[in-house]
């Protein structure tokens, strides 16, 4: 075992991250003063009660929103310095998102929904079709490629969303309660799918979930409360991770 | 009343020598008496207030009218041509009215085409803010989102234009089919004279002018063009507004 595998590079470094919403008279501190380092290839689960700031934190990691204070470094680059278009490019090349509501385009077929994530790429139409077909196959939906989302079950829709999130071969996958709208069996399948796909690709994955069983299986668990990150199991997991 | 009866007019007795039938559509006097007797009776000996003159030919009407005006100072002459002018004058008014109505309908139609397209587009863009936020989350840049929305609203503009044109054509057809016919009515040339020829010589004229709203192909093309412009502009504006949102805000948008 060489030194590189023992000490992976951090992909995210967060210093004093806060996100405050101005709601007239009172301010809402969705995320407060979070310090966090995420290593390349980590499978990270975020848990916490509703309203504790999990979604807000994930959106900050994905460049979907900007913090009101603090600094987020992605692969060493300060994300605050990236313009709107550069953040789009970062998401296009490096990040993948999975949402609780699936967020598929209702008028497009499963295959077209996957192709949407490839549209900004310089690919021939044929290459795009082929790639979408292959991605749907890898999530077990080859036969549903030409169905619109309303003709698919919730689990199938989330599989389409996973295929879409993987279309750009992202180094980081950010999933906000990917099983939150599914029954527990289907949700479990979705999480299994995510874990196996990430293991194949050595992706960094951050998953928000309310499911304690899933959280228990994670390499590392982050717990949030009132916008703050609880120190909790970090040390123990780090110990497990190096053993 | 019958022939042989006597009636009293201005303290003088007159014997009825005949009964006259009232001409249809004209005005008749109640009693016809000899002009000289009537003049004596009303203390206006040698005076008349209306004289009907017939020219030998229509070409002479103008000259004759001028001659009469010069001969009888203080008199006014009304020729059949004047009456005809008054009739057609009001017909021109009616025609103007229909033209104005047509123009108003055209403007309303064009406005409707523009507004329908704009509002449809804006509404659909607003409904799709989450969708557009998703596109940005997937790595689409602002301009690509705007281009997509604008392209789609071009199609929607065509649809809105076609719809507007249909509404316009249907509206015009309805107006043409059911509109009331406008009537131009000429004021009666009132015969004021007592006397043997005292019936109205010119009857009230009335001419129908049908209201119609002609729809030209040019107008429809203009409506479609306006709808396209409306769709494009509101698509671009709405698309830009949505695309400029941070994806987090767009995704949280509730439609
Ligand atoms: N745009 C906003 N404006 C105002 N307040 C907001 C906004 N977005 C989030 N909040 C508030 O910030 C806090 C954290 O919200 P967030 O969505 O991050 O919670 P969460 O942990 O994901 O909750 P859940 O488990 O219910 O999804 C909440 O109190 C929420 O009301
Ligand atoms: Mg949430």
CA B133 to ligand 1 centroid distance, Å: 17
Is the minimum CB–CB distance between B127 and chain A shorter than 8 Å?
Answer: no
Confirm whether A243 is domain-assigned. Answer: no
Confirm whether A204 is domain-assigned. Answer: yes
Q: B140 to chain A nearest CA, in Å?
A: 6
Confirm whether A14 is domain-assigned. Answer: no
Let me know: does A104 contact A161? Beta carbons within 8 Å: yes
Q: Which ligand is nearest to the CA of A52?
A: 1
Confirm whether A19 is domain-assigned. Answer: no
Per-residue pLDDT of chain B (255 residues; tens, 9 = 90+): 788 888 887 778 888 888 877 766 556 677 777 878 778 877 777 777 777 777 787 777 778 778 888 887 777 777 777 777 777 777 777 777 777 777 888 888 888 878 888 888 888 899 999 999 999 999 999 999 999 999 988 887 777 667 767 776 787 778 777 776 655 554 444 444 333 443 333 444 455 555 555 567 777 788 788 888 888 899 999 999 999 999 999 998 876
Could you give the CA distance from residue A206 to residue A198 in angstroms, rounded to a whole number?
11
Secondary structure letter of residue B3 according to DSSP: T
Structural domain total, chain B = 1
Confirm whether B32 is domain-assigned. Answer: no
Could you tell me if the CB of A53 is within 6 A of ligand 1?
A: yes
Let me know: does B105 contact B175? Beta carbons within 8 Å: yes
Secondary structure letter of residue A153 according to DSSP: -
Could you give the CA distance from residue A87 to residue B73 in angstroms, rounded to a whole number?
97
Domain that holds residue A210: 29-233
Let me know: does B187 contact B86? Beta carbons within 8 Å: yes
Could you give the CA distance from residue A111 to residue A203 in angstroms, rounded to a whole number?
23
CB nearest A89 (choices: B137, B139, B248): B139
What's the token pair of residue B40?
Answer: 């004596």
Q: b/e map of A98-132 (b: 16 or more CB within 10 Å)?
A: bbbebbbbeebbbbbbbbbbbbbeeeeeeebbebb
Specify the ligand 1 atom closest to the Cα of A57.
18
CA B117 to ligand 1 centroid distance, Å: 37
Asked if the model's pLDDT at residue A152 lies above 90, the reply is yes
Q: Which ligand is nearest to the CA of A176?
A: 2
Could you give the CA distance from residue A54 to residue A180 in angstroms, rounded to a whole number?
13
Could you tell me if the CB of B246 is within 6 A of ligand 1?
A: no
Alpha-carbon torsion (A50, A52, A29, A82), positive or negative:
negative
Which helix H or strand E contains B67, and what residues bound it? Answer: helix B61-71
Q: A214 to chain B nearest CA, in Å?
A: 26
Domain that holds residue B162: 84-255
Confirm whether B200 is domain-assigned. Answer: yes
Confirm whether A144 is domain-assigned. Answer: yes
Is the minimum CB–CB distance between B134 and chain A shorter than 8 Å?
Answer: yes
- Distance between the two ends of chain A, CA-based, in angstroms? 12
Q: Going by CA atoms, what residue is nearest to atom 7 of ligand 1?
A: A21
CA A117 to ligand 2 centroid distance, Å: 23
| Cβ atoms within 10 Å of B177's Cβ, excluding its own | 8
Confirm whether B250 is domain-assigned. Answer: yes
What's the token pair of residue A211?
Answer: 């499911």
Q: Going by CA atoms, what residue is nearest to atom 19 of ligand 1?
A: A51
Residue B212: per-residue pLDDT = 58
Which helix H or strand E contains A10, and what residues bound it? Answer: strand A10-23
Give the CA radius of gyration of chain A: 18
Confirm whether B62 is domain-assigned. Answer: no
ipTM exceeding cut-off 0.85 for this assembly: yes
Is the minimum CB–CB distance between B155 and chain A shorter than 8 Å?
Answer: no
Structural domain total, chain A = 1
Could you tell me if the CB of A209 is within 6 A of ligand 1?
A: no
| Helix axes of B142-178 and A84-94: crossing angle, nearest 10 degrees | 100
Q: Which residues surround ligand 2, an ion (CB under 5 A)?
A: A 55
Confirm whether A225 is domain-assigned. Answer: yes
Residue B64: per-residue pLDDT = 79
Q: Is B221 helix (H, G, I), strand (E, B) or coil?
A: helix
| Cβ atoms within 10 Å of B158's Cβ, excluding its own | 15
DSSP string of A14-74?
A: EEEEEEEEEETTEEEEEEEEEEEEEETT-EEEEE--TTSSHHHHHHHHTTSS--SEEEEEE
Secondary structure letter of residue B94 according to DSSP: H
Name the H helices within A95-233: 110-116, 125-138, 154-166, 184-201, 212-217
Please give the backbone phi and psi of residue A16, each rounded to the nearest 5 degrees, phi first: 55, 40
Is the minimum CB–CB distance between B146 and chain A shorter than 8 Å?
Answer: no
Confirm whether B242 is domain-assigned. Answer: yes
Confirm whether B69 is domain-assigned. Answer: no
Asked if the model's pLDDT at residue A195 lies above 70, the reply is yes
> Which residues have C-beta within 8 Å of that of residue A90, sequence separation ≥ 6?
A63, A74, A79, A82, B139
CA A140 to ligand 1 centroid distance, Å: 33
Q: Is B124 helix (H, G, I), strand (E, B) or coil?
A: helix
Confirm whether B35 is domain-assigned. Answer: no
Cβ contact (<8 Å) for B139 and A66?
no
Confirm whether A22 is domain-assigned. Answer: no
If one compares A242 and A219, the residue with the highest pLDDT of the two is: A219
Confirm whether B199 is domain-assigned. Answer: yes
Give me the CATH number covering residue A118.
3.40.50.300
Secondary structure letter of residue B78 according to DSSP: -
Q: What pTM value is reported for the model?
A: 0.71
Confirm whether A200 is domain-assigned. Answer: yes
A contacts of B246 (beta carbons < 8 Å) = 64-66
> Which residues have C-beta within 8 Å of that of residue A22, sequence separation ≥ 6?
none
Asked if the model's pLDDT at residue A188 lies above 90, the reply is no
């Amino acid at each position: 075992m060489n030194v590189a595998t023992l000490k992976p590079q951090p992909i995210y470094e967060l210093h004093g991250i806060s996100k405050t919403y101005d709601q007239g008279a009172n301010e809402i501190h969705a995320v407060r003063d979070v310090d966090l380092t995420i290593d390349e290839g980590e499978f990270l689960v975020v848990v916490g009660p509703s309203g504790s700031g999990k979604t807000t934190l994930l959106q900050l990691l994905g460049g979907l929103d900007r913090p009101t204070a603090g600094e987020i470094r992605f692969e060493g680059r300060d994300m605050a310095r990236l313009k709107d278009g550069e953040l789009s490019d970062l998401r296009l090349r490096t990040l993948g998102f999975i949402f609780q509501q699936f967020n598929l385009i209702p008028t497009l077929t499963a295959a077209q929904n996957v192709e949407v994530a490839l549209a900004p790429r310089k690919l021939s139409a044929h290459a795009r079709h082929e790639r979408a077909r292959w991605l749907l196959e890898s999530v077990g939906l080859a036969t549903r490629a030409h169905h619109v989302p309303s003709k698919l079950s919730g689990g199938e829709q989330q599989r389409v969303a996973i295929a879409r999130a993987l279309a750009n071969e992202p180094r980081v996958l950010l999933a906000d309660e990917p099983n939150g709208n599914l029954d527990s069996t289907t949700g479990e399948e979705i999480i299994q799918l995510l874990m196996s796909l990430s293991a194949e690709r050595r992706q960094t994955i951050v998953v928000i979930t309310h499911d304690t069983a899933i959280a228990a299986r994670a390499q590392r668990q982050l717990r949030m409360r009132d916008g703050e990150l609880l120190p909790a199991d970090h040390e123990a997991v780090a110990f497990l991770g190096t053993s | 009343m019958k022939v042989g009866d006597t009636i009293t007019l201005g303290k003088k007795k007159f014997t009825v020598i005949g009964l006259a039938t009232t001409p249809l559509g004209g005005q008749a006097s109640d009693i016809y008496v000899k002009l000289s007797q009537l003049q004596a009776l009303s203390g206006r000996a040698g005076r008349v207030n209306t004289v009907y003159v017939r020219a030998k030919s229509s070409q002479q009407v103008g000259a004759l009218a001028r001659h009469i005006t010069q001969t009888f100072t203080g008199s006014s002459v009304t020729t059949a041509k004047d009456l005809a002018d008054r009739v057609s004058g009001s017909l021109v008014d009616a025609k103007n009215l229909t033209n104005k109505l047509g123009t108003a309908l055209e403007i309303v139609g064009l406005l409707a085409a523009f507004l329908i397209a704009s509002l449809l587009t804006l509404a659909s863009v607003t409904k799709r803010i989450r969708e557009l936020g998703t596109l940005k989350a997937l790595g689409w840049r602002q301009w690509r989102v705007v281009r997509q929305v604008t392209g789609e609203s071009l199609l929607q503009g065509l649809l809105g234009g076609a719809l507007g044109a249909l509404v316009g054509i249907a509206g015009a057809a309805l107006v043409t089919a059911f509109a009331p016919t406008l009537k131009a009515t000429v004021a009666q040339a009132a015969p004021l004279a007592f006397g043997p020829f005292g019936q109205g010589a010119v009857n009230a004229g009335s001419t129908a002018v049908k209201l119609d709203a002609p729809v030209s192909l040019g107008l429809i093309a203009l409506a479609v063009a306006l709808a396209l412009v409306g769709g494009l502009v509101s698509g671009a504006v709405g698309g830009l507004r949505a695309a400029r949102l941070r994806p987090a805000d767009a995704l949280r948008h509730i439609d």
